């Protein structure tokens, strides 16, 4: 059993109307009893982003029979992602100190979520699971860019690490491809002819991790080093267009982010 073990689920759903839902479900085993963390972020155009947090143990998403389900009795939520595209998996980092395994279970899925009796999301979704066996501040990277773009015909996901260790992972419709450039407003695939443009029109979250995503955790300064808490995250919901030679424009929604460590 490693000294540090983080199991983290990420799942989302975006609608044609510009709504978005993001679920984080994590379990951290390190320095004492396990810490359970659940975050449900919801966005509707013209309204403030709402973010629910819980440190109570809630079941993580469950994959079975071609779909992934999640239920929260505490928040009266039921969600399901029906897999439309095959899973992809990679070890993003491996060292004697530990590794980071990335399992993208659903690069594109038809998804539906109910919160309470009156809030519903139905659209395209994405699900991934990370397993990390070394503290994230020991990963030799300075900046992370991550994102996903989905519609009825295309699923594009990208991971771009830069720093002492550089790593790029990009999949388009289940096939590994190379990107010429990955930025906040444009992803240009190798050859330069296929380009995804992002409007960064809605900010879902921004600020230092210690004041945003991690703020609910107790004894932060004991759990994490100061540099980790000062890392800055910016997460967007974008209307996006994928332009490819010889094909009509592919229009959909993207969720993407950049995280930078001091």
Residues 78-101: tens digit of each pLDDT: 999 998 878 999 999 999 999 999
Show me where the domains of the chain are located.
5-260
For 216-253, write each residue's pLDDT tens digit: 988 788 888 898 999 999 999 999 999 999 999 999 99
Burial of 167 (0-12, 13-18, 19+ CB in 10 A): middle
Given this model, what pLDDT does residue 220 score? 81
Rounded mean pLDDT of 36-61?
A: 96
For 176-202, write each residue's pLDDT tens digit: 999 999 999 999 998 888 999 999 999
Given this model, what pLDDT does residue 2 score? 61
Given this model, what pLDDT does residue 17 score? 94
**pTM (two decimals):** 0.96
Report whether pLDDT(130) > 80: yes
Report whether pLDDT(54) > 60: yes
Please, what is the average pLDDT of the chain? 94
DSSP the chain: --S-EEEEEEEEEE-TTS-EEEEEEEEEESSSS-EEEEEEEEE-TTS--EEEEE-S--PPPEEETTEEEEEETTTTEEEEEEE-S--EEEEEEEETTEEEEEEEEEEEEEEEEEETTTEEEEEEEEEEEEEESS-GGGS--SEEEEEEEE-SS-EEEEEEEESSS-EEEEEETTEEE-EEEE-SSEEEETTS--EEEE---EEEEEEEGGGTTTTTSTTHHHHS-HHHHH-EEEEEEEEEEEE-TTS--EEEEEEEEEEE--
| pLDDT band at 57; cut points 50, 70, 90 | very high
For 208-223, write each residue's pLDDT tens digit: 999 999 989 887 888 8
High-pLDDT (> 90) share of the chain, %: 87
């Amino acid at each position: 059993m490693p000294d540090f073990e983080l199991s983290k689920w990420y799942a989302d759903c975006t609608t044609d109307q510009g709504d978005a839902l993001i679920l984080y479900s994590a379990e951290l085993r390190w320095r004492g009893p396990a810490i359970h963390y659940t975050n449900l972020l919801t966005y509707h155009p013209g309204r403030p982003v709402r973010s629910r947090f819980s440190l109570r143990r809630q079941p993580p998403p469950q994959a079975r029979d071609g779909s992934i389900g999640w239920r929260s009795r505490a928040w009266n939520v039921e969600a399901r992602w029906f897999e439309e595209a095959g899973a992809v998996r990679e070890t993003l980092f491996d060292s004697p100190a530990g590794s980071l395994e990335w399992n993208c279970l659903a690069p594109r899925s038809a998804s539906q979520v109910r919160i309470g009796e009156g809030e519903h999301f139905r659209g395209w979704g994405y699900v991934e699971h990370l397993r990390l066996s070394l503290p994230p501040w020991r990963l030799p990277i300075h900046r992370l860019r991550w994102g996903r773009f989905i519609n009825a015909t295309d699923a594009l996901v990208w991971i771009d690490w830069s720093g002492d260790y550089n790593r790029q992972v990009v999949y388009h419709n289940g096939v590994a491809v190379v990107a010429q450039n990955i930025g906040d407003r444009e992803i240009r695939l190798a050859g330069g002819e296929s380009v995804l443009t992002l409007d960064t029109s809605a900010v879902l979250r921004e600020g230092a991790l210690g004041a945003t995503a991690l703020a609910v955790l107790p004894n932060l300064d004991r759990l994490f080093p100061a540099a980790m808490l000062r890392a800055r995250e910016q997460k967007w919901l974008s209307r996006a267009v994928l332009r490819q030679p010889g094909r009509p424009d592919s229009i959909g929604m993207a969720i993407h982010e950049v995280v930078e460590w001091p």
